Amino acid sequence: MVTQLLIIGYAICTGFVVAGLIGSFFQLVTNRPPNFDFAAGTMGSLASGMAMCILAGPFIIMRHAIRGRRIERRPIGWLVASSTIAGMWSLFSGILMLNVYFVALH
């Protein structure tokens, strides 16, 4: 049981790290923070925008949740719900990234 919880925690952390790296890299390259609204000019930009949103989703959600709590004074329940959604999303993307990593090793 403890081993399974540690694996889940590791996957969540991996998902958050990947989301943060991709979100920060996007912000470094484009000079604007990542967001869920992206303009789809070509098929390549649509695919890259969707991949960025899928992998950087927890980062985007948490950035909006913390900003909403600090600036807009949203209730703490909003932050808890956003954190839960971002955590679950991070778990799934972390499992995906770990699977890609382990497949790439062999």
In whole angstroms, what is the distance from residue 59 CA to residue 89 CA?
A: 10
Residue numbers of the domain that contains 14: 2-105
- State the pLDDT confidence band at 71, using cuts at 50, 70 and 90: very high
pLDDT at 30: 87
pTM over 0.75: yes
Q: For the chain, how many structural domains are there in total?
A: 1
- pLDDT tens per residue, range 6-64: 999 999 999 999 999 999 999 999 898 988 887 767 888 888 888 888 999 999 999 99
The three-class DSSP label of residue 52 is helix
> 95 CB contacts (<8 Å, ≥6 apart)?
11, 15
pLDDT at 42: 84
